[in-house]
A and B are shown apart, each in its own frame.
Chain A
Amino acid sequence: DIQMTQSPSSVSASVGDRVSITCRASQDISRWLAWYQQKPGQVPNLLIYAASTLQNGVPSRFSGSGSGTEFTLTITSLQPEDLATYYCQQENSFPLTFGGGTKVEIK
């Protein structure tokens, strides 16, 4: 199985700050990585797929980068509605696996 490791596990930032979350894969997954946002009490919502492709309707302050084993989700200007836990998921092969999540809190 491909292990996905996210860091940090939580981050607290102010509105307007730039926030970056890292996801590392235990083996090369090319660019096959997705990011999901899960707001408290809500369903996971696809933000980005293929490492950097923004899903329709997702604000442009979200961006993704990386390839191989290291990936980054960046929120360029944190908004109050971005309070959520963010998960990465490798799209490359079965079994599909998720990272442990990064909780983003607003100071």
Chain B
Amino acid sequence: QITLKESGPTLVKPTQTLTLTCTFSGFSLSTRGVGVGWFRQPPGKALEWLAITYYNGDIRYSPSLRSRLTITRDTSRNQVVLTVTNMDPGDTATYYCAREPYTDHGQHYFDYWGQGTLVTVSS
């Protein structure tokens, strides 16, 4: 059974750094082709992709947020961590992690998602 779960603060102040942890089970981030990505969804708005890390250490970031994002992984603990610096009220959103499976043609979609965690940015 594959599961992912996000954890971290529910409230951060403007200018602070947000650190979120995705803890997963039922698959390995050492398996060829597998990745774990981060997404966010402001209340009532659409999904936005943020970053992804792969089995081989490859990392991709959203260009619009690249300067503020860092994604790291701990394969032995089955965790992927996302940090977002200089948080702003506009970053208030539900943050999700999700698994990208191995794909025959190298395309990118996500078959298992965490429950999400709502992060509010407010002083």
Contact = CB atoms under 8 A, between A and B. Distances in A.
Interface stretch (A14-22, A65-73, A74-82, A87-95): A87-95
B49 A91 contact: no
A98 B96 contact: no
A96 interface: yes
B47 A34 contact: no
Contacts of B52: 96
B69 to A, nearest CB: 12
A92 B49 contact: no
A101 B108 CA distance: 19
A32 interface: yes
The contact size tier of chain B is 20 to 34
Contact of B108 (A44, A45, A87, A91): A91
A98 B109 contact: no
A12 interface: no
Interface in A14-67: 32, 34, 36, 43-46, 49-50, 55
Interface in B97-123: 98, 105, 107-111, 113-116
A101 B116 contact: no
Contacts of B110: 34, 44, 46
A97 to B, nearest CB: 7
A43 B46 contact: no
A85 to B, nearest CB: 9
Interface string B20-53: 0000000000000000010000000011110010
Contacts of B64: 95
Contacts of A1: 63
A50 B114 CA distance: 22
Interface string B76-111: 000000000000000000001010000001011111
Given A92-B107, A99-B46, 5 more contacts: A34-B109, A36-B47, A46-B111, A87-B47, A89-B49
Interface of B: 37, 46-49, 52, 60-64, 96, 98, 105, 107-111, 113-116
Interface of A: 1, 32, 34, 36, 43-46, 49-50, 55, 87, 89, 91-92, 94-101
